[in-house]
Structure 1
């Protein structure tokens, strides 16, 4: 993973984990890597890995069982909300950029409706 300087590393890792959840690469109830393994995987300090798991727990995305490990929450509704929030963030940025380029909402809708859809997306993206 390539890190950018504008955002703290722990937030970038959280965003990456959220993306994996949304994509279905991590599923509700899955066991997450140990803090040490997460640190190795993302080339970060173990204290940063611990902070990431604390933040994810505070958001309700995971829970830790002492001596057993850290697991994703089993409530799929939490992750559906996450997907909706992420879509809203992307859409807001897209609409602002398009507006700055002079596109009206109607012109944007016309462009989007004519844009080729990724194969399989109609099945994957139903929320």
Structure 2
């Protein structure tokens, strides 16, 4: 279900965190659904269990998942739209900062954002 790109510049825990958010948004992961255990997911993906634990911890801090000691981590959708919105805006900020470092002009970014907002949504 989860896919990690080891050659990506995005840290593995961030990739995992992002995919969990995407799956919640898409309805693939539902309210109170249990996530794979840290060890099981780490084994499945071939990554360090601490990496999975870090992703889960970050999601728990944002109240996107909750932990039941001895039972595992579960999805919560309470206020999920606000939480995902904030997470996506944080990702956007990071992307804009990287583009700035690459000397991408602010006017070019503004034009692109305006173009995207002007496009008709396929599901609207």
What's the TM-score, normalizing by structure 1? 0.66
Partner of 1:99 in structure 2? Answer: 107
Gaps of 5+ in 1: 123-127
Gaps of 5+ in 2: 97-103
Q: In angstroms, what is the RMSD of aligned CA positions?
A: 3.2
Greater C-alpha Rg: 1
Partner of 2:49 in structure 1? Answer: 46
Equivalences, count: 112
CA distance in structure 2 between the aligned counterparts of 1:24 and 1:104, rounded to whole angstroms: 28
CA distance in structure 1 between the aligned counterparts of 2:63 and 2:52, rounded to whole angstroms: 17
- Decide whether the 8 Å contact of 1:3 with 1:12 is kept in 2: no
Partner of 1:125 in structure 2? Answer: none
Residue 88 of structure 1: how far off its partner (Å): 8.3
CA distance in structure 1 between the aligned counterparts of 2:24 and 2:84, rounded to whole angstroms: 9
CA distance 1:70–1:13, change in 2 (3 Å): same
What's the TM-score, normalizing by structure 2? 0.67
Partner of 1:81 in structure 2? Answer: 82
